[in-house]
């Protein structure tokens, strides 16, 4: 075998062994770090749980007056922050509702104006129809008046009966057809 080749193999072997030793050493260190980290996190969780119990009013038997005052101060500060946040949310909600109210009032005003415009338009159309009907009636009356020299009333006029005799309740008024001359109607020829 070639001595150079053998040296290269030995060199590679040594490098591989060093890498494995480093990995094993790092693994042991990381295990130690993880164990330490786990212990720290576990202690934090216990402290947080104890503080939570204290905030809930539990496990306060061992507290002295100063510790209780400190806890009370923490609770007051927390309540102030909670109330501040609640008030901010309420004010934001009120502002949003006022904005919506204003938009609805504007929309209501616009709709009210549209209704008034429609009512005015309907009134104008009704007046126009009545005017057209009146013109048609007048023109028909003029046409019939021009065709006949006098205007004939077809309705019965109430009659006044003067008599000295007995009253007859079953007596019916006599239908009289009255002829009105054209000049009395005031129609133009």
pLDDT confidence of residue 14: 84
Distance (Å, rounded) from C-alpha 166 to C-alpha 168? 6
pLDDT, one tens digit per residue, over 65-123 is 999 999 999 999 999 999 999 999 999 999 999 999 999 999 999 999 999 999 999 99
Q: What is the pTM of this model?
A: 0.42
Beta bridge partners of 107: none
What is the band of 156 on the pLDDT scale with cuts at 50, 70, 90? Answer: low
pLDDT confidence of residue 16: 83
| Residue extents of the structural domains in the chain | 19-62, 66-109
Distance (Å, rounded) from C-alpha 71 to C-alpha 13? 64
Regarding predicted confidence, which is higher, 120 or 24? 120
Distance (Å, rounded) from C-alpha 97 to C-alpha 91? 10
pLDDT at 135 over 60: yes
Mean pLDDT in the chain?
80
Interior CA angle at 116 toward 115 and 120, to 5°?
120
Beta bridge partners of 152: 179
pLDDT confidence of residue 19: 72
- Quick check: 150 and 179 in contact, CB under 8 A? yes
DSSP 138: H
pLDDT confidence of residue 177: 64
């Amino acid at each position: 075998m070639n001595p150079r080749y053998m040296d290269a193999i030995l060199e590679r072997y040594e490098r591989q062994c060093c890498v494995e030793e480093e990995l094993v050493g790092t693994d042991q260190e990381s295990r130690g770090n993880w164990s330490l980290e786990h212990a720290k996190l576990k202690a934090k969780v216990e402290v947080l749980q104890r503080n939570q119990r204290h905030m809930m009013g539990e496990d306060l038997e061992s507290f002295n007056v100063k510790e209780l005052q400190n806890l009370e101060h923490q609770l007051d500060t927390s309540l102030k922050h909670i109330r501040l946040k609640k008030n901010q949310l309420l004010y934001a909600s009120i502002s949003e509702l006022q904005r919506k109210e204003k938009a609805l009032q504007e929309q209501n005003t616009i709709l009210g104006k549209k209704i008034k415009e429609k009512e005015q338009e309907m009134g104008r159309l009704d007046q126009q129809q009545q005017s057209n009907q009146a013109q048609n009636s007048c023109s028909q009356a003029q046409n019939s008046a021009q065709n006949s020299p006098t205007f004939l009333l077809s309705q019965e006029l109430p009659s006044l009966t003067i008599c000295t005799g007995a009253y007859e309740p079953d007596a019916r008024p006599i239908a009289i057809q009255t002829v009105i001359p054209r000049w009395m109607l005031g129609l133009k020829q």
